Amino acid sequence: QSLDKLIDVRRKAVWAVRQQLEKDPAYQTELEKFSDRTLAMSLYQEKVIDEMFPSAMMEKYYDWFFTDVKAVVVKIGFRGAGINEDRSEAEAYELAEKYASELAISQDAVLAAKTLSEGNKKAVLANPYTIGRMPMKGDSLIFNTAVGSVGGPVKLSEALVLVKVLEKQTREKDRTLDSVRGELLRIFRGQQRNEEAGKFNALSEQFRRKYNAIAYDAGINELVNTINQWGKSPQPKITDFSDEQRKIIIGEVQGEPIYSGGFLDFASDMLTRDYSVIGNFSSIKERFLMQELNLRSWVLEAKAAGQDKNPKYLEEMERFTLGRLARMIEDKEVNEHVTEVTEAEIETYYRENPDKFSAPARVEVWQIVVNAQPVAQQVYERARNGEDFKALYDEFVGKANVPVTHRYELGMITPTHRMKPIADAAFAAGGNNLTQPVEFNNSYHIIKTGKFEPEKVKDLASVRSSVQAAVLNEKRGKRREQVESEISAAVSAEVHSDVLKAIG
């Protein structure tokens, strides 16, 4: 099936090219934007992520990912640290040496750690230690300290840290490094978001200088005035901006201008809602122009570094091109081809599919839940003999904060209620009735039913939009099958079964 989908996408892409859909200006703009983002992200991965979190470090953490460590953590504060104690850093180190000796000889490491540690004493035991609980220096201390030994102190922003490792066990590596990498990176990047942002900003400034990226304040001011005049007109629309107004130059990178039209497209919805919030000088410059200057500078640097020849980039571009061209066929040959539904089609579909537009049967339910069957039988007999059901509930249950499954009033339920045995019994009893005790989840439920509403088909007026959508989807489905059949006949595909066998 996966192969069939791949072939189907490629056939549609080939068909789209034969129809010259790849020349569509909107597609070309989309393709260029995707290429730029992919190139910039490829360079960002290399210059920021890979340098901050190199492969050797990831491999080390991969081993630690499958290592369970039981340890105690002792934190010693000092002036200016997260745990701000009235001692100097040097005094904290002296105290740490003393604490390390005490921790090493302690018979009860957890008790010793609770006595010695500052800050949250409940958090002294890590069992198992979770990667990212402390910054990387803390991780390294935990995993590199031998069982029975005391490690540290190491200085973290929160405090000086000592650890004593009590147990260490390696688990089977049942996941690949690639499958673990994303999880680890989320932890690391969360811890070092400021460092990552700083590295990005420094590189962005470097690339902007290299490629002469300039913001034109005069152009931005002209655009602000243009937006203000537009915003004061009655019922302004983005399409009201003239070609000339969309050609105001607000910046450039390596001699290539950045026009106001880019901002107008970027902020079209926000401008329509409140032009004064997004259409001011600061927003235009910081939220759009600087981002655009950075992006274009990163793209130029990526191309200079040969990222546009990187196999991963080429693979991403091929995947995007195939998928987007295939969707263009879907839009042009299916969605744009089938747009209307007649009143007769709506009525026919509604009449032939009553089950799709039915309101399910409902019954009103109250219940008394007890733990023993003899007690349940007693409650049932008393209720059957006419005693007030709510009074019986108060006598046998009547507690505050009872579990949701035990509450007295369930209201109007349908046959698909999550407590299926209760629903089955209630609907079997019908309206205004009482059931024998029903066993469910080690409890016994005596059920009283009230008002019963049979299943009924909703009137067409209340479901017209749903019926119309269903008819449209059905018509498009038939059109899709027709188009795919025509494309299959026009675009041949050869499947190499020997290759499929080789890859299983």
Q: What is the pLDDT of residues 147-163, one digit of tens each?
A: 999 999 999 999 999 99
What per-residue confidence (pLDDT) applies to 159?
95
pLDDT higher than threshold 90 for residue 33: yes
3-state secondary structure of 189: helix
- For the entire predicted model, the pTM comes to 0.72
Question: What average pLDDT does this structure show over 417-443?
Answer: 94
396: left (phi over 0), alpha (psi -120 to 50) or beta: alpha
> Within 13 Å of residue 447, how many CA atoms lie on the same side as its CB?
30
Residue 230: closest CA among 269, 263, 275: 275
Query: Domain boundaries in the chain?
Result: 21-63+192-322, 67-170, 361-454
Q: What is the pLDDT of residues 42-52, one digit of tens each?
A: 999 999 999 99
Q: Which CATH architecture has domain 67-170?
A: Roll (3.10)
3-state secondary structure of 500: helix
Q: What is the pLDDT of residues 291-307, one digit of tens each?
A: 999 999 999 999 999 99
Percent of the chain with pLDDT over 90: 83
Q: What is the pLDDT of residues 209-235, one digit of tens each?
A: 999 999 999 999 999 999 999 999 998
3-state secondary structure of 279: coil
Residue 24: which H helix or E strand, with range? none
Task: Write the CATH number of the domain with boundaries 361-454.
Answer: 3.10.50.40
pLDDT higher than threshold 60 for residue 495: no
Fold equal for 67-170 and 361-454? yes
What is the residue-averaged pLDDT of the chain? 92
Q: Are 133 and 191 in contact (CB under 8 A)?
A: no
What per-residue confidence (pLDDT) applies to 494?
55
Question: What average pLDDT does this structure show over 397-402?
Answer: 72
Q: Report the C-alpha gap between 96 and 98 in whole angstroms.
A: 5
What per-residue confidence (pLDDT) applies to 121?
77
pLDDT-based confidence at residue 500 (cuts at 50, 70, 90): very low
